[in-house]
Amino acid sequence: MALNESQSVNPALVVDDVVKRFGRGDEVITAVDHMSFDVAQGEFVSVIGPSGCGKSTLFNIIGGLLSDYEGAVKIGEERISAPHPAVGMVFQEESTFPWRTVIDNVAFPLELQGVGKSERMDRAHHFIDMVGLASFEKAFPSQLSGGMRQRVSIARTLVSQPKILLMDEPFAALDEQTRLLLGDKITQIQQELNQTTLLITHNLTEAVQLSDRIVVMTYRPGRVKRIVRIDLPRPRTSDVVGSDAFGHYVAEIWNDLREEASRGMADSESAASRRAAHG
Amino acid sequence: MAEKSGPSFLRRNGPELFGALSLLAAVLVFEALVRSGIVNRFVIPPPSDIVLAFERVIVEENILGRFRDTAVEMVIAGFAAVGVGVPIGAFLYRSALWRRAMEDWIGALAAAPIVLAFPLFLVLFGRSPKTIIVMGFVHGLAPIILKMVEGLASTRPVLINVGRSLKMTSSQMFWKILFPSALPVIFTGIRLSWTFVLITIVGVEYLINLGGLGQLINELAERYDLPGTYAGICFVVLVSVLFFVILERVESWLQPGR
């Protein structure tokens, strides 16, 4: 049987017919509606959709932070219903601990696992080096820029060597140039570690720059609209954004997204009108 | 070189220098107002008389012993308030029912003029330092409890999610994320608490005429020694400054990155 774009030969993560509803009775809102896709070992997959389409809900389900859902998110044969050691999460908001230095932030998961001090410092040092912050080990987050702090969070997640790296719009608060350069860093790390990665984003260029496949979501309820394979050459850098092929993918996915984004915008405007009408 | 050191010295020490000069200016204005008769010297003595009274108060009034008495009462009551208030605050943070039931009462306790309840405490604990310490402790408790709850509750949800994603136990979550995150707010509570403790301790010493600096101020006021009274008040301010400097050092030692 031939595989379609939503299936992989050797999936590290399977999202199988996942449904998540919030509220009760007449007020039920379906945030995620029968979503299915998977991520192969070493693959970089992005989930893209307009604001409010249920991306963050999906992130929380895969990360085990939301356990009450229908369907299954599986790692191997195990259904996820709580945070799983195989999944390392990077959050949208800045999440470093301000009272810890960079190295202590990165070594934090190893400290919880009871790894000895010299080993955890060695491992933390390795990942700090990998994200390009070697000269900032003793600095506190307050002394770093937003992009540097997000790199600390990524190093802190990678230090546990998770099977799957799960990121929720990690560059959302950064400017476009920093975002492109951090994209390069992520691509480099992902290729170096052959890291299975699932990125949740609303940024089209970021998704095309980084991904092997992109899952396009519909606006409310969040369903899989289409899965696009990105056949841009690897190793890949941000130089790719100038290529014709890149532009072609961006235009193609935008065609799919435009309708959903327009629905989202219309929905927000009518909600704002209702609020204004009710004073 | 000299050109560079000038502005950097001002940038570093400017605020302190400005503060000291403002204080000096206020003292000189009062001196002028009192000496010119605009302010009655039987209400406020000239600041120069207060400065001259320092030597007399130190030599004749056992100021060091009284300073020590007030400081010891302050340390016992202040640390007891921290030791009891922090666990109560942590408990209230965990239990929504207790928090909703108690928060308003604790807020009311913080606002109450506890010092006026001294006759009750005198009956319970007698005319002894115990009364002073217990009253200071009771008044200092509420701000720590309230700020502990506020600090824990204001922990950024993303940090809690980081802890959850790392499968932290509730004890690890408390000691490694919630408590360190709440520390700046807890220290605000301690500062407020110790202000209440000091006011209560000196006030009760004054009212029951027992112990340290409060009793000294009472005695000097009874003798109508106004410069001495104001010099005594200056020593109370010194106790306050001393504790706040220590607290500031402890705070920056515990939170190096903030």
Q: Quick: pLDDT tens for B18-67.
A: 999 999 999 999 999 999 999 888 888 999 999 999 988 888 888 888 98
CA torsion, points A149, A153, A155, A159, in degrees to nearest 10?
A: 150
Select from B156, B164, B172 the Cβ nearest to the Cβ of A112: B172
d(CA B187, CA B248): 9
pLDDT score, position B6: 59
pLDDT score, position A6: 57
* Chain B interface includes A101 (CB < 8 A): yes
Domains of chain A with bracketed CATH: 1-86+162-262 (3.40.50.300), 94-161 (no CATH)
DSSP per-residue codes, chain A: ----TT--SSEEEEEEEEEEEES-GGG-EEEEEEEEEEEETT-EEEEE--TTSSHHHHHHHHTTS----EEEEEETTEEPSS--TTEEEE-SS----TTS-HHHHHHHHHHHTT--HHHHHHHHHHHHHHTT-GGGTT--GGGS-HHHHHHHHHHHHHTT--SEEEEESTTTTS-HHHHHHHHHHHHHHHHHHT-EEEEEES-HHHHHHH-SEEEEEPSSSB-EEEEEE----SS--GGGGGSHHHHHHHHHHHHHHHHHHHHHHHHHHHHHHHHHHT-
Å between A36 CA and nearest CA of chain B: 23
User: Looking at the predicted structure, is the pLDDT value of residue B247 above 90?
Assistant: no
Closest-CA residue in chain B for A140?
Answer: B257
pLDDT score, position A3: 46
Select from A93, A109, A141 the Cβ nearest to the Cβ of B166: A109
Residue B257 pLDDT grade (very low, low, confident, very high; cuts 50, 70, 90)? confident
Name every residue in B having a CB less than 8 A away from some CB of A.
Answer: 156, 158-159, 161-162, 164-168, 172, 176-177, 180-181, 183, 255-258
Closest-CA residue in chain A for B165?
Answer: A83
Mutation to test the B interface, candidates A57, A67, A99, A144, most B Cβ within 10 Å: A99
Domain ranges (residues) in chain B: 2-44, 51-254
pLDDT score, position A108: 97
The interface residues of chain A toward chain B in range 135-154, judged by CB-CB distance below 8 A, are 140-143
Select from A83, A93, A99 the Cβ nearest to the Cβ of B257: A99
Give the β-pairing of A29-40 and A224-229.
unpaired
User: Looking at the predicted structure, is the pLDDT value of residue B238 above 50?
Assistant: yes
Select from B162, B168, B257 the Cβ nearest to the Cβ of A98: B257
- Superfamily for domain range B51-254: MetI-like (1.10.3720.10)
d(CA B104, CA A73): 45
Mutation to test the A interface, candidates B162, B186, B254, most A Cβ within 10 Å: B162
Q: What is the ipTM of this complex?
A: 0.89
Q: What is the residue-level pLDDT of chain A in tens, covering all 279 positions?
A: 444 555 666 799 999 999 999 988 878 889 999 999 999 999 999 999 988 889 999 999 999 999 899 999 999 889 999 999 999 999 999 999 999 999 999 999 999 999 999 999 999 999 999 999 999 999 999 999 999 999 999 999 999 999 999 999 988 878 888 888 888 888 988 988 999 999 999 899 999 999 999 999 998 889 999 999 999 988 888 889 899 999 999 999 999 889 888 888 888 888 888 888 876
CB spacing of A91 vs B161 below 8 angstroms: yes
pLDDT score, position B211: 80
